[in-house]
Amino acid sequence: MPTDDSSVLERFQAGEPEAFESLFRSHQKEVYGWLLRIVRNPAQAEDLTVETFWKIHRACERFDPARDFSAWARTIATRAALDWLRTQRPETELPVTVPAPAAGDPGVAAEIRRKIASALARLPPALRVAAVLAVVEEIPHKKIAQSLGISTGAVKVRVFRALRILRRELQREGIEP
């Protein structure tokens, strides 16, 4: 995680372009990686990274130089990702009643992964983000809470609800989690 000189943060808050460029260069990869974990789409993560830094640039006066720039950037990035996820429609598939192949078949494993990904995509965005970051990416609840602007307890509740919904969806698909 990049460390930022307090003078750079103060100059950024004052609207100095060079300070913004410095922060952009030092935090771009971190923000992109964060967004990629959430949206799971490299091209969209790139677009959202640009959008995030545009929002950061426009909000420079509201930034408090005493606070952590990385956490502030992750919060803005998370909100942009949630907005994008809310506009996405999960793909729905028609149920197929075909007998399942024998266990151990690589096609079965691929089908199970596809069904899990599909069930995950159908979760409400707030639950999906919490579940992906906590369970798939194994990011600590505290860091997720800071980025989402909610309490650690709320992150735990969202992850619990997401996993409960996923378990129910997968059982309907004939997969016992």
Query: In this structure, are residues 89 and 121 in contact, taking their beta carbons and an 8 Å threshold?
Result: no
152 and 125 share one domain: yes
129 and 74 share one domain: no
Q: What ranges in 40-68 are assigned the alpha helix state H?
A: 42-58
Cα–Cα distance for residue pair 49/109, rounded to 1 Å = 33
Q: What is the pLDDT of residues 13-53, one digit of tens each?
A: 999 999 999 999 999 999 999 999 999 899 999 999 999 99
Residue 15: CATH number of its domain:
1.10.1740.10
In 3-state terms, the chain is what percent helix, strand and coil (to 5)?
70, 0, 30
Query: In this structure, are residues 47 and 41 in contact, taking their beta carbons and an 8 Å threshold?
Result: no
83 and 113 share one domain: no
Above 90 in pLDDT, residue 177?
A: no
The two tokens of residue 16 are: 């100095």
The residue among 37, 52, 87 that closes a domain is: 87
pTM above 0.75, yes or no: no
The two tokens of residue 152 are: 């650690």
29 and 77 share one domain: yes
Q: What is the pLDDT of residues 101-151, one digit of tens each?
A: 445 556 667 888 888 888 888 889 999 999 989 988 899 999 999 888 899
- Asked whether residue 31 is domain-assigned, the answer is yes
- Asked whether residue 130 is domain-assigned, the answer is yes
Q: Which domain holds residue 67?
A: 6-87
